[in-house]
Structure 1
Amino acid sequence: MRERAAGELALYERIPSYRRAIEASGATGAAEIAVIGDEEAVAAEVRRYREAGATEVVFTATELDGEEGRVRTWRLLGELSRG
């Protein structure tokens, strides 16, 4: 899945603000910092961002895992946004 993400997310590596965020994280590419996994893994990453002090966490769901995966992702993110 991460290999597929590398191709789909490569465009972010050319946008200066995203490039800075990627580099600040210590990663070399956008796919390295992409949150990929099941609901438990995604929820854990959201918690990690919040615990690190993030006041706003923005996600973009892709079609990497098909329509069912996209719907599951949006459902989970909606639940997480409510606290």
Structure 2
Amino acid sequence: MHKSLRQERQLLQLQAEALRLKLLTNQLRRQQQQAKPDLLELVSKLPQAGMLWRLANMPRKLRNKLLLGAALLAVIYLRS
């Protein structure tokens, strides 16, 4: 193989490798951006946490009745 053809082939391989690495870094960057929870998402979860906190602080009898009722509703829902 001629020297110029060998050099051109090596150049094309290096360009292909550079493009592959660039695509990989862009893909990883997008994944990291999607993994970050945005502020709106965190705020929307606050009421759920508040409900759990109130449930944990309820008197034991009432809390157990509510949990049993929720479990029964879940079983009924899953059976239908």
TM-score if structure 2 supplies the norm length? 0.30
Q: Which has the higher contact order (CA 8 A, sep 6+)?
A: 1
Highest CA radius of gyration, 1 or 2?
2
TM-score if structure 1 supplies the norm length? 0.29
